């Protein structure tokens, strides 16, 4: 069984800011690794995939189990 995971607008904005932050930091460093921002998003997507398959394995935010 697969569940649907939805991000709030605030969460989506946080992810965009995180991506921009990592990218800007790496651009500012000599020899920075520009792929780190993309790797962070890949890791977050993997976490979301885990939630889709097993939503009750993670800590809940709020009172509702859903």
Query: What pLDDT tens digit does each residue of the chain (66 aa) get?
Result: 788 888 999 999 999 999 899 999 998 988 888 888 889 989 998 988 888 888 877 666 677 666
Angle at 57 between CA 20 and CA 13, to 5 degrees: 20
Indicate whether 2 belongs to any domain: no
pLDDT of residue 12: 93
Indicate whether 66 belongs to any domain: no
Give me the residue label for tokens 């709030």.
Answer: 8
Integer Cα distance of 60 and 51 in angstroms: 11
Domain range for 24? 9-57
- Name the domain count of the chain: 1
Indicate whether 23 belongs to any domain: yes
Indicate whether 43 belongs to any domain: yes
Indicate whether 26 belongs to any domain: yes
């Amino acid at each position: 069984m697969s569940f649907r995971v939805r991000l709030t607008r605030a969460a989506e904005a946080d992810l965009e800011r995180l991506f921009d932050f990592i990218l800007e930091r790496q651009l500012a460093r000599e020899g920075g690794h520009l792929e780190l921002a993309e790797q962070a998003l890949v890791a977050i997507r993997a976490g979301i995939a885990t939630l889709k398959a097993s939503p009750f394995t993670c800590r809940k935010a709020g009172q509702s189990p859903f």
